[in-house]
Structure 1
Amino acid sequence: MTDTPAPPRTSPLHDRHEALGASFTDFGGWNMPVRYTSDLAEHRAVREAAGLFDISHMAEFRVDGPRAAAFLDYVLAGRLSTMKVGKAKYSLVLAESGGIVDDVIVYRTGDDSFLVISNAGNRDAVAAAFATAQATWLPASDASTGSATDAPDTATEVPEPVEGTGTLTVADVTDSYALIALQGPEARGILSSTPGVEITGTPLDELGYYAWTAGAFDDAPLFVARTGYTGEDGYELMIPTAQAGALWDAALAAGADRGLVPCGLAARDTLRLEAGMPLYGHELSRETVPAQAGLGRVVAVDKETFVGKAGLSSGPADAPVLVGLVSDGRRAGRAGYAVLHGDDTVGEITSGALSPTLGHPVAMAFVAPAASAIGTELTIDVRGTRIPATVTALPFYRRNA
């Protein structure tokens, strides 16, 4: 007898997506919109004006207490203790082997409080990594793992420590909040003019990249981060689930005359590919160490100890490395397609598409180090046809400053 798989979860905005005519797909255990009209139109809207994405499938964890910064230095690959309040940092959760459990963004919300956002499909894996690290790094009396019941009442308030938990509290607050991404060159103007939105912290025109500010929407707390996954400027907005629909509606209305459109996961994927941003399950996995994926800079190797440090030096010297590939024509290499150098298979595509912005195929691939130099001529086996491709630097696309 086999267990029946649980049905995919739905976003707090699901009814809005249905009303807008979205098509859906199962992504990380969530039923999420893949497109509303066309992938190309949604992609171009983000590059030229703005797009609105529901990213409520992402997972959120609060880490609080006097030892929160030191704990994150231990459980994550980067050094979080030096980050200033109001800033954000990209980091990695590693396995003891040095492989990547997930990539995350960490926001410092106070001297002793942090918000960690992870990928939907890795929510349980990240929670388990935090729990294991707590058990090995702290005495049991000093650590607590919580749930949404331990969450703060506002998006910027530090949770009250659970009685008797001592110096560290980790709380999964995913179910308490929705996340909405507003991305594109018109994003700031749209957010500034969205009815009901008030910025109570750093003004938007002073907010740096990878930073956050406090706000409110119709008296609900609003966490505004200048981050994204599209290669464009923009914001990711965290709000209590009860107010998510009203914020979505207000933002769409405010952007109606600025070219704003709702966008699905298909456009998000081609946008992040053009920007050279890795996707877990494609460029990142437990079988991949950070240096292979071009993320060695994320690891603070000078830290005395952290989860995965010992494993980072145990991989083979000839392990494949991530590269960018560009081709002519219209036929794109897709995930799983072989990459060849002469008659030898030297790697495999992890993500690929015909770039809507650049007008030619682009791909990311893991290839043998000997075939990874920029300018190396390779071929991609596209359903039996060899398509010439050239190794190029990432990203493929970079927005104007």
Structure 2
Amino acid sequence: MELKTPLYEIHLKYHGKMVPFAGYLLPIQYEEGIIKEHMAVRTRAGLFDVSHMGEIICKGKDALENLNRLLTNDFTDMEIGQARYSPMCNEHGGTVDDLIVYKKKEEEYFIVVNASNKEKDYQWMLEHKLGEVEFEDISDKIAQIALQGPRSQEILMKLTSDIPEKYYHAVFDGKVAGIPCMVSRTGYTGEDGFELYLENQYAETMWETLMEAGSEYVLIPCGLGARDTLRLEAGMPLYGHEMNDDINPVEIGLGFAVKMQKDDFIGKSHLPNKDSLTRKRVGLRVTGRGIIREQEEVLAEGKKAGFTTSGTHCPYLGYPAAMAILDKEYTAAGTKVTVIVRGREVEAEVVTLPFYRKSK
């Protein structure tokens, strides 16, 4: 039986079309529809319920040492209030998950993991912890609301002065409209935006307060559908699509978050360097007719070159696109490929990711 987030009744009030996702009932879209929700985030602002995501506290004298061993990124020089993205690898270099770590204070970190992986991630951390450290899963106590889009800061400024100035930073003991919460300048849409973490009991009030504050900017609620089209336009990988236990983070372009100069971390010895890569994640722009989806065969020069990982019509860009993992020899921008979609050939060409990048 699917769980409900603290905002379930709100979704019904706003006529959300509810579907099962990652063990929860969540809105795939609202009355406006996916395309209008997508365009709202690109041009104004949209509001998302992401309370299904997982939150884990890591604290203790050996907290930093554990993070550096569990994760591919290096957290040694983090400042309090700073966030850092990282894959987490298995012993063979495949990806257990990708996550965000915040430094809450010395010897205490706040970790945000993917909804579908939160139990797996938590158990992985417990099974591999060393020394004086505690991991605590607090997911059931925390609601998360994402306010995303170019007008999101203007909306939030009406309710609080606790706004992080820098991307990937957070104010931990903030208040928005008098409600205690953590305000993080992060998101999964390719736009400027914020993610608010707060106790479940305040979730409905926070949602309605944000909707009211954003009314002059035509703020609308957005569902899972727009979240997916937005992240794909922005070239952002999704666990279970661009990465899994058999795909390593380097070959999907996450080498920036893999610090091979660290003494050691789980999976390090099995990760390739850029020169030894045999395949890479690329963007595909459809030049023929059709929409490419995930797990479809990609051909180049008449032979199999790889497979697609995600695909859709991109509402803001106005054309269909996909991401794919291809043999390295076929990854140069401009390479012509053919994707087999339900037995039919659809022409496409390799393009540099991301498809969309917000203007400064």
Other-structure match for 1:152: none
TM alignment of 1:271-286, pairs within 5 A: 271-286=230-245
Other-structure match for 1:66: 61
SS in 2 for 1:72: helix
Shift of 1:330: 5.5
From 138, 148, 170, give the equivalent of 1:212: 170
SS in 1 for 2:79: coil
Other-structure match for 1:90: 85
Q: Distance in 2 between matches of 1:384 and 1:290?
A: 31
Q: Specify every segment of 5 or more residues in structure 1 that has no aligned partner in the other structure, as ranges.
A: 1-6, 143-167
Q: How many residues are paired up?
A: 358
Shift of 1:132: 1.5
From 335, 338, 347, give the equivalent of 1:379: 338
From 136, 147, 151, give the equivalent of 1:171: 136
Asked if the contact 2:293/2:312 (under 8 Å) is kept, the reply is yes
Other-structure match for 1:328: 287
TM alignment of 1:111-122, pairs within 5 A: 111-122=106-117
Q: Distance in 2 between matches of 1:220 and 1:254?
A: 14
SS in 2 for 1:45: helix
Q: Deviations over 1:9-66 (max 9, x none)?
A: 1100000001111112221111111100211010000001000000000000011122
Matched, 1:246 2:205: yes
Matched, 1:75 2:70: yes
TM alignment of 1:10-49, pairs within 5 A: 10-37=4-31, 38-49=33-44
TM-score normalised by L of structure 1: 0.86
Q: Distance in 2 between matches of 1:225 and 1:313?
A: 33
Matched, 1:110 2:109: no
Which has the higher Rg, Structure 1 or Structure 2?
1
TM-score normalised by L of structure 2: 0.95
Other-structure match for 2:353: 394
Asked if the contact 1:100/1:285 (under 8 Å) is kept, the reply is yes
Question: Cα gap change, 1:330/1:21 in structure 2, threshold over 3 Å: closer, same or farther?
Answer: farther
After superposition, the CA RMSD in angstroms is: 1.8
Stretch moving more, 7-16 or 332-341: 332-341
Asked if the contact 1:104/1:118 (under 8 Å) is kept, the reply is yes
Shift of 1:306: 1.1
Question: Cα gap change, 1:308/1:325 in structure 2, threshold over 3 Å: closer, same or farther?
Answer: same
Shift of 1:310: 2.2
SS in 1 for 2:217: coil
Q: Distance in 2 between matches of 1:257 and 1:330?
A: 39
SS in 2 for 1:73: helix
Q: Distance in 2 between matches of 1:11 and 1:82?
A: 35
Asked if the contact 2:56/2:135 (under 8 Å) is kept, the reply is yes
